[in-house]
Amino acid sequence: MSSNDTHGGAIRRIVIVGGGTAGWMTAAPLAQRLARHPTQPCEVTLVESPEIGTIGVGEATLPTIRVYNAALGLDADDFVAKTQASYKLGIEFKDWGHLGNRFFHAFGDFGPALAGFGAHQHWLRLAQAFNQMPDLENWSMPSVMARHGKFVPPNEENPGMTDAYSYGFHFDASLYAGYLREYAVARGVHRVEGMIVEVEQHPESGFVTAVKLRDGRRVEGDLFIDCSGFRGLLIEGALKAGYEDWSNYLPCNSALAVPCASAPQLTPYTRSTAQEAGWVWRIPLQHRIGNGHVYSNGFTSDEQARRALLDGLDGAALDEPRQIRFVTGRRRKSWIKNVVAIGLSAGFVEPLESTSINLIETAVGKLLELFPERDCNPTLADEFNRVMGIRYESVRDFIVLHYKLTTRDDSEFWRYCAHMEIPDSLRHQIDLFRETGRVAIVDRGGFAEPSFVAMMMGLGAVPKRYDPLVDRVELRAVHGHFAALRDMITQAVARMPDHGAYVAAQAARGAPRAAA
């Protein structure tokens, strides 16, 4: 069958355009599942050019990265050693909502449900009954662990009340991409180095048939995956997907990234500190700290942003700050014909909640779930685009929430955020929580109820009421439950090792494999 034939039949050749985190996170599971299949092997080729830099600053993740790594069968010690990883229990937010504010968005709930009602509903009742009720964070196991710099994984085989938490990782994104490249190549992925200068399409169907390199080589395929970054070489350059611009909701359009020397304590969390016209991140790795400043150049200058970033570093800068420009939004369709866009080529939402790698995981997983034949039935693309559209929009709304719920009026940027229009879907979520303490979840695969509770309460949106049915539970029993759980958390955290010591021991176990 010729390369221009777009009729059905098994896909035999997949071409991934672009390396970096997105390219190799796509290549690894495809190699595992398809490259050396005993009856229907599929050739997987990745084309990348050293002349094109990668963004490579997505160093913090959500807990879903653990599912991705486990599906590949990665060894945890080896992974930690080879990627300079540390653990992430959540994100500490400083100066969001108002100056001087500090709260924690943890990867866990606030204790088990009681009589069928979420813990925060009972806490709201107790807060009305008792004047000096401690913050809700005291019933979040990962929040207390983070506060004391402690870490051990939860017991997931036989969990107790103090195991109700999860974790993600901080790692060096370039090392992680290289780690997955090694994995993928060992399982049959063919890496081609070269600059793509032309995209060839079938004259009738419009399917991409090959990419042509500067040196004249052609790489043919049945299915093309666009991991070419912001430029979207295939999905936009060839297939003109169009882009939905969300700058009116998320005005930040610039970032500066710089690593610095490590601090004495290896903290098990990311930190986000709001600035005059954006925010700065701090991501601790074993060998350095990743830092960056996300901002709007319509409200501050690049030089002011640079000074704010460098002035806030824990240690000496290890490089010059690297400039990144972006337009927040997504492609109107990320699967068209036989091209699927994954990563920055599909869309970009600023890394305030470490969602970039999660969106790659989601897209790769959904592609495998909806894997096509050679004709790429358009109903599969429709379903992929529907699911990914919901995911991108739910992530967008969760990020917009951080900006909208502010009482800061100390700069033009924050005054804009406080008064800007927001999507109706988010407006409903905010109003529902403020009035009743309930959380509306739009995307069941996205952020769950504890995340919305942590963010809204942390930003000052304390509900006016709680669920009236919780009054049916005896108040004394509720108070006793909360007191006992708080004591259990305190005692459990006191017994845990220091996060830095835990990581050092794990990295040492993985070091022989890393050096081999």
Q: Is 362 annotated as a binding residue?
A: no
Beta strand pairing call for 43-48 and 13-17: parallel
Q: Is 343 annotated as a binding residue?
A: no
Judge residue 349's burial from the number of C-beta atoms within 10 Å of its C-beta, 0-12 exposed, 13-18 middle, 19 or more buried: buried
Whether 32 and 187 have beta carbons less than 8 Å apart is answered as yes
Could you tell me which residues are beta bridge partners of residue 43?
Answer: 13
Q: Is 337 annotated as a binding residue?
A: no
Q: Is 344 annotated as a binding residue?
A: yes
Core vs surface per residue 350-375: b (16+ CB within 10 A) or e: bbbbbbbbbbbbbbbbbbeebbbebb
- Take residue 351 and report the two structure tokens written for it: 């890394």
Distance of CA 290 to the CA centre of its chain: 16
For 45, phi then psi, to 5°, come to -120, 135
| Opening angle at CA 213, ends 208 and 217, nearest 5 | 95
Could you tell me which residues are beta bridge partners of residue 90?
Answer: 106
Q: Is 357 annotated as a binding residue?
A: yes
Whether 47 and 478 have beta carbons less than 8 Å apart is answered as no
Residue in 138, 127, 65, 75 with CA at minimum distance from that of residue 103: 138
- Take residue 181 and report the two structure tokens written for it: 């490249």
Q: Is 480 annotated as a binding residue?
A: no
CA distance 244 to 283: 30
Residues sharing a CB contact under 8 Å with residue 240, sequence separation 6 or more, in sequence order: none
Q: Is 225 annotated as a binding residue?
A: no
**Is 464 an annotated catalytic residue?**
no
Q: Which SS3 state, helix, strand or coil, does residue 498 take?
A: strand
What distance, in Å, lies between the first and last C-alpha atoms of the chain? 44
Residues sharing a CB contact under 8 Å with residue 502, sequence separation 6 or more, in sequence order: 87, 151, 152
Whether 454 and 103 have beta carbons less than 8 Å apart is answered as yes
Q: Is 22 annotated as a binding residue?
A: yes
Residue in 215, 174, 177, 208 with CA at minimum distance from that of residue 193: 215
> Tokens 């700065």 map to which residue?
280
Whether 353 and 91 have beta carbons less than 8 Å apart is answered as yes
Identified catalytic residue from 82, 88, 333, 404: 88
State the binding site: 19-22, 88, 344, 353, 357
Residues annotated as binding site for L-tryptophan? 353
Question: Annotated binding site for FAD: which residue ranges?
Answer: 19-22, 344, 357
Task: Return the active site residues.
Answer: 88
